[in-house]
Amino acid sequence: MAALDGLPPLRDVIQRHGLDARKALGQNFLLDLNLTQKVARTAGSLEGATVFEVGPGPGGLTRAILALGAAKVIAVERDARCLPALAEVADHYPGRLEVIEGDALKTDFAALAPDGPVKIIANLPYNVGTQLLVNWLLPAQWPPFWQSLTLMFQKEVGQRIVAQEDDDHYGRLGVLCGWRSEARMAFDVSPQAFTPPPKVTSTVVHLTPKENPIRCAVDKLEKVTQAAFGQRRKMLRQSLKPLGGEALLIKAEIDPQRRAETLSVEEFCRLANCL
Ligand code: SAM
């Protein structure tokens, strides 16, 4: 990292500030300069953009984002032990890094968004990552305040995010992501790239918002996907019984004998709109 920005190597930063990784906070740090740059580059050009980062930790990804030209980074970190290390990064990039100490799940990101382009980039803590993604996909106001999401997840979660019908990983998350975004898996990251190494492979997912998703009420879409995938091996006429069963399916022009995993996002929206 020293070559990138003249700041000390992350290993030194971690040692100097006593940032031993805590499992409860999902702390698996990225120390490799090439890798943090590769993650940041997946978001496309950062020139003039404000980047929201969740969980900057000792600041490896933050430093890559700043070195690649983001106008400003607003980073939300729950672990107060990381703040002095992040203050050193802020001093190195005057006026370009704002660190908010707090829980990202309780942060109103839309309210923090400036007028210009906003990109969200994060190596997410595994225990809150999916909920954060869902929160960013659910707002009533669409298109949302963000231009793209570039997020590191456990690979299995990444597979669920990009899954489409007839895929084993297809479920509620895939329908929600496919409804409102274009999602792709960018690249995998092996456990050895992290300190400490997690048990599983990770993957970087890139999402951009669809400008005109199919019109559909979020709560109704949630209802049908919850019921359908709650009993994914059953025929829809059975799993959707509490919501109208066969009559609902006929109204939506969907064969009642089909199973949840065979329905496209468009068909789920049709069902939601017939509720
Ligand atoms: N960005 C750093 C990197 O790539 O090396 C650290 C990533 S680590 C996987 C996740 C980070 O999220 C940790 O720094 C942890 O303290 C922080 N974190 C955990 N839960 C959080 C929450 N609810 N809100 C904000 N930050 C959180």
Using most ligand atoms within 8 A of CB, pick from 13, 17, 27 the residue to mutate for ligand 1: 27
Question: Is 246 annotated as contributing to ligand binding?
Answer: no
pLDDT at 1 (0 to 100) = 47
Intra-chain end-to-end CA distance of the chain, in Å:
54
Handedness of CA 97, 102, 105, 107 (dihedral sign): negative
Say whether 274 sits in a helix, a strand or coil.
helix
* CATH class of the region 218-274: mainly alpha
Q: What is the pLDDT along the chain (275 residues), one digit of tens a residue?
A: 455 788 999 999 999 999 999 999 999 999 998 899 999 999 999 999 999 999 999 999 999 999 999 999 999 999 999 999 999 999 999 999 999 999 999 999 999 999 889 999 999 998 899 999 999 999 888 999 999 999 999 999 999 999 999 999 999 999 999 999 999 999 999 999 999 999 999 999 999 999 999 999 999 999 999 999 999 899 999 999 999 999 999 999 999 999 999 999 999 999 999 99
Question: Is 55 annotated as contributing to ligand binding?
Answer: yes
pLDDT at 14 (0 to 100) = 97
CA-to-CA distance for 239 and 231, rounded, in angstroms? 6
DSSP 196: S
Query: Is the domain defined by 2-209 classed in CATH 3.40.50.150?
Result: yes
Q: Where are the alpha helices (DSSP H) in 166-217?
A: 172-180
**Ligand 1 centroid – CA 116 distance (Å):** 25
What residues does CATH 3.40.50.150 cover in the chain?
2-209
For the purposes of burial, counting CB atoms within 10 Å of the CB of 236, is it exposed (0-12), middle (13-18) or buried (19 or more)?
buried
Q: Is 174 in the pocket of ligand 1 (CB under 6 A)?
A: no
Q: Is 104 in the pocket of ligand 1 (CB under 6 A)?
A: yes
Using most ligand atoms within 8 A of CB, pick from 36, 77, 83 the residue to mutate for ligand 1: 77
Q: Map tokens 């190596």 to a residue.
A: 123
81, 60, 71: which is closest to 5 by C-alpha? Answer: 60
**Ligand 1 centroid – CA 83 distance (Å):** 12
265, 269, 228: which is closest to 245 by C-alpha? Answer: 228
The encoded tokens of residue 21 equal: 């990784």
Please state, in angstroms and as integers, the Cα–Cα distance from residue 184 to each residue in 44, 149, 150, 204, following that order: 14, 11, 10, 9
**Which atom of ligand 1 lies closest to the CA of 76?**
25
47, 9, 16: which is closest to 30 by C-alpha? Answer: 9
With beta carbons less than 8 A apart as the criterion, state whether 113 and 50 touch: yes
Q: Please state whether beta strands 181-189 and 202-209 pair in parallel, antiparallel, or not at all (unpaired).
A: antiparallel
118, 141, 122, 143: which is closest to 133 by C-alpha? Answer: 122
CA-to-CA distance for 76 and 61, rounded, in angstroms? 13
Question: Is 168 annotated as contributing to ligand binding?
Answer: no
pLDDT at 33 (0 to 100) = 82
What residues does CATH 1.10.8.100 cover in the chain?
218-274
